[in-house]
Structures are given as structure tokens and as C-alpha cells.
Amino acid sequence: MEVIRDSAVLRKWIDAFHLQDYVSKDLLKIAEVHIYSSGEYIAKEGTHTPYFYFLVHGDSISYSYTCTGRIHCESYMSGFGILGQAAALWEQPAFNDVLALTECTCIALRMELCRKQLLEDVKFLRFVTYWMAQHVRENAFRHNPLEVRTAKFILQVAQGDIFRFNLSQCADILETSYRHLLRVIKQMCTVGLLERKGNGYRILNREELTRLSQGQIHLAGEEKEDS
């Protein structure tokens, strides 16, 4: 992890995401920029973290392992998110590993400088509460069939009409097997929603893919997920 102590860089990220709107205390006095390399852990399960993070760039995954050894993806974040609302604010051990899938830039609030103020900051607590409520709502999406979850994820991370994402990581995020994910994507290609393009896929019919992501249509012959 690299720490950037440059007020101009910090201000750039604060302004880019309007972070000061969420905190009453001057962020320039309590925050710093942390950069994590791809494959580096931002937090480890069972450890304490001294920072509350605004993720402002990059992709990260929060996950744990079930008693059967399968990955449980708590959340996937891309571009903006918050990390450490329990572990940092209330000094509890992290209950997930948080891994940087790409290089990640975080605005880090050092809790020893501002924990008391943040826990009394109505503006900040409203923001965190809203974020956590949205996270709970999004987690309900995991009960949908894999075809629905896959379509939504493709639309979420595609750059323009190109979906290019590590499919092993995608399978972990969607909590399925790599083999079953490939079957679903192949079905999407067969019915004309996607086509193979180099090391990725091109979206051919965004309207129908959106309908699939909302559960309005279904792929014919969708198979049961692997256990």
C-alpha cells in the first residue's frame, strides 16, 4: 500500500466525488490518499483497521469462505464505495477479506483523529446509513437466477458495449462455478444477446439484455446451478 500525502491530489479526489458533502469535519485535515496494488488486501478478516475508506477508483471484492469452503461475496465495488463502516467506526474485527482486483485508490480517514466526531456527525451517519440500506437491498438480488445476475453484472461493468472481465473472478462475485457461468454466457451468445469479441464479449442487444437483468425474460433451457 502506498500513501500519498499531497494535499492537491487529496483535494482532487474530494472534489471529484463531492466527499466533503458527506462529512462535517474538514477532510483535508483528517484524510490521506492510499493506493493498493492489484491483488493486495485492503482488509483481512479478523483484523482491526485504523481507517474508514472511500473507494474512489478501481475494483474491489469483499468476501469470506463458508464452512464448506465456497466463496461468499459480500460485495463487489467498482469506482466508488465505502469500506470499514463496522470495523473502523466501531472498532470491530473485519468479518470479510477485502481484496483489490485492480489498482485501487482510497481516501482514508484515520479513525484516531476523528472517530468521536464522525460518530456524532449527523451528516456522515445519514450517508453511511443510506449506503448500508442500499447494500442490503442489493444483496436481495443474489436470490435471482444466475442468468439474471450475470446480465446485470455485464451491464454494470461493460465499457461501452464491450464486456471484458476475468471470468474466474466474475464467477466468485456471482457465487457460482466457472463452468456454469460459461454455460450461461454461451446461451446469451446463442440467443443473440452477446458475441465473442477477442478476449471479451460484445453486447449485441442491450435492450433485451436489460430485460433479462430485470427478470422480464429468461434464457431457454437454463440449467440448475452447480452445488
pLDDT in tens, 154-164: 998 898 999 99
Average pLDDT over residues 152-180: 91
Question: In this structure, are residues 32 and 4 in contact, taking their beta carbons and an 8 Å threshold?
Answer: yes
Domain ranges of the chain: 2-141, 145-213
Q: What pLDDT sits at residue 156?
A: 87
Measure the CA–CA gap between 169 and 182, rounded to whole angstroms.
12
> What three-state secondary structure class fits 48?
coil
Sheet with 104-110, strands from edge to edge, namely 2-4, 31-36, 104-110, 51-57, 81-83
Q: What pLDDT sits at residue 141?
A: 65
Residue 22: φ, ψ to 5°: -100, -5
Nearest residue to 65 (alpha-carbon basis) of 40, 88, 46, 86: 46
Top CATH class, 2-141? mainly beta
Average pLDDT over residues 2-20: 96
pLDDT band at 227 (very low <50, low <70, confident <90, very high): very low
Average pLDDT over residues 147-173: 91
145-213, CATH topology level: Arc Repressor Mutant, subunit A (1.10.10)
